[in-house]
Amino acid sequence: MEQRTILHLDMDAFFASVEQRDSPELRGLPVIIAHPTELRGVVSTCSYEARRFGVHSAMPTSQAKRLCPNGVFIAPDHRKYSAVSKQMMAILARYTPLIEKLSVDEAFLDVTGCERLFGDGVTMARRIKEDISRELNLTASVGISYNKFLAKLASDLEKPDGLVPITPSDLETRVHPLPISRLWGVGQKSAEQLTRLGLRTIGDVAQMNVTRMRTYLGSLADHIYLLANGRDERPVQPNREAKSIGQETTFAEDVRDVVFLETTLLGQVEKVARRLRQSGFEARTVTLKLRYAPWQTITRNHTFAHPTDLETPLYTAVKGLLAKCGLSREDAIRLIGVTVGNLVPKGTVEEQTQQLSLFDAPTPTVETDPRQQELSRVVDSLKDKFGDKILTRARLVRREEE
């Protein structure tokens, strides 16, 4: 693949900067965006002046008041921020249509091949920052690199008002000394686990033994090993209506262990099913994607009798597809993935089935079994409340020491 040029842009102290821009008397002051009267509220964000007191996003407002008693507390005005967000995205759209909006103040741009029009990545980043400063009177930080992970990491390195390129030769000097918490996808829990395994910096991860670490980390080992070595092929995906929902894992080293492949699939199915339920759609088809080591990629489909958004039928189907591929011990797998497609709004088919059942009273299949539906609903609401890690199938629980 040709080397790409990816930009990641993130506005500085976004909500607080908009307030300081619109009320000049607030400039230079510690501004904290939080409902001043909400007893159990949390801080949305704060100006860099307030960060010096230790205040940060998601901190209880009461604690922010203790740390920064002279802070100016302002209730968030989401309508205003989303209008500014639209203006910001419109500026980005002048440079490329390949924009993936990640949040209200953050986006990836794939500007590969735009050099003839706008100059190289760094020049383009500078021009975008100038447009934002001149037209919106706000500052942004931009990272420029050859993949999404490194561009996102770069945009955060010299905030506020940063402009940081990372080239392949910067990897060792600039990226490897950073702590593992900077790896995309490593939350606090995984960071603690990695530290227990003796991995402290991104450089440590770049040199670890992937096969051994899979015992403790599952396919997260592959994910972080590739990132740490500056490998991330995920494309910038312009935000369109989802027509399919998928998850795939690229392995750092070939996999010959079918049980490990199945466990990876189960983890992917759980994520896909949850996103499917959040989207309000059900899938008519599920696709298994396999890439053999010498770059041969195959896909296999299964069509359901009843559209579904549940783990059990999805997993049963992809596991069956994997079995049909008849993998032998010689087959080395590089990538595995699950995608659901032919999405239909939930409920549109259910009614027909229910009417039919008045006459045939078929036994419920896993796709329509109300107990399965209820179980998934309960799991989702627990995950919404307590985070994704709260519940997982027994098989996904990582073995600790062996």
Complex with ligand TTP: residue 14 or 304, whichever CB lies closer: 14
The CA distance from 302 to 262, in Å, is 17
Q: Of the ranges 4-12, 110-118, 146-154, 218-226, which one interacts with ligand TTP (CB under 6 A)?
A: 4-12
Among 6, 7, 8, 10, binds ligand TTP (CB under 6 A): 10
Nearer to Mg ion, 49 or 105 (CB): 105
In the complex with ligand TTP, which residue's Cβ is closer, 149 or 281?
Answer: 149
Q: Tell me, residue by residue from 98 to 127, as one string, x for binding to ligand TTP by CB under 6 A and - for no binding.
A: ------xxx---------------------
Identity of the residue, 191 or 197, whose beta carbon is nearer to ligand TTP in the bound complex: 191
In angstroms, give the least distance from the CB of 44 to ligand TTP. 3
- Could you tell me the CA-to-CA distances from 156 to 11, 159, 309 in Å, in that order? 10, 6, 37
Examine the residue annotation and report whether 106 is marked as an active-site residue of this protein. yes
For residue 73, what are the β-bridge partners? 32
Least Å distance between CB 89 and ligand TTP? 14
> Which range in 10-18, 215-223, 261-269, 370-378 contacts ligand TTP by CB under 6 A?
10-18
Which one of Mg ion, ligand TTP, none interacts with residue 149, CB within 5 to 8 A by kind? none
**Is 10 annotated as ligand-binding?**
yes
Selection from Mg ion, ligand TTP, none that 58 binds (CB < 5 to 8 A by kind) is: ligand TTP
Q: Which residues have C-beta within 8 Å of that of residue 258, sequence separation ≥ 6?
A: 322, 327
CA dihedral 153, 107, 132, 23 (to 10 degrees): -90
Please give the size of the binding site for ligand TTP, defined by CB under 6 A: 15
On whether the CB atoms of residues 391 and 383 are closer than 8 A, the answer is yes
Q: Tell the smallest beta-carbon distance from residue 223 to ligand TTP (Å).
A: 22
Length of the chain measured in residues: 402
Structure tokens at 247: 């998850």
Q: Are 236 and 99 in contact (CB under 8 A)?
A: yes
User: What is d(CA 35, CA 33) in angstroms, rounded to the nearest whole number?
Assistant: 7
Number of shown-chain residues binding Mg ion (CB under 5 A): 4
Distances (CA, A) of 95 to 52, 80, 104, 110, 237: 35, 24, 19, 9, 16
The reply to whether 13 sits near ligand TTP by the rule CB under 6 A is yes
Measuring CA to CA, how many Å separate 104 from each of 14, 82, 151, 309, 382?
A: 9, 7, 18, 28, 26
What DSSP designation does 173 have? I
333-345 and 31-33 beta bridge pairing: unpaired
Instruction: Report in angstroms how near the CB of residue 354 gets to ligand TTP at its nearest.
Output: 42
| Among the listed residues 5, 6, 4, 7, the one whose alpha carbon sits nearest the alpha carbon of residue 142 | 7
Q: Which of 49, 100, 106, 367 is catalytic?
A: 106
Could you give the CA distance from residue 402 to residue 399 in angstroms, rounded to a whole number? 7
CA distances from 165 to 120, 243, 295 (A): 11, 34, 31
Q: Which is nearer to Mg ion, 11 or 314 (CB)?
A: 11
The option from ligand TTP, Mg ion, none interacting with 44 (CB < 5 to 8 A, set by class) reads ligand TTP
Work out whether 15 is an interface residue with ligand TTP (CB under 6 A). Answer: yes
Q: Per CB under 5 A, does 105 bind Mg ion?
A: yes
Site map 52..71 versus ligand TTP, x via CB under 6 A: -----xx-------------
Of 140 and 206, which has the nearer Cβ to Mg ion?
A: 140
**Is 105 annotated as belonging to a binding site?**
yes
Residue 45 found at the interface with ligand TTP (CB under 6 A): yes
Sign, CA dihedral 350-316-283-222, equals positive
Place of tokens 């905030």: 159
Give the Cα separation of 227 and 233 in Å (integer). 10
Residue 227 CB, nearest distance to ligand TTP (Å)?
Answer: 20
CB under 5 to 8 A by kind: which of Mg ion, ligand TTP, none does 159 bind?
ligand TTP
- Minimum distance, C-beta of residue 83 to ligand TTP, in the bound complex (Å): 14
Which residue numbers belong to the known binding site for Mg(2+)?
A: 10, 105
> Which residues are known to be catalytic?
106
Contact residues toward Mg ion (CB under 5 A) are 10-11, 14, 105
Which residues are at the interface with ligand TTP (CB under 6 A)?
A: 10-15, 44-45, 57-58, 104-106, 159-160
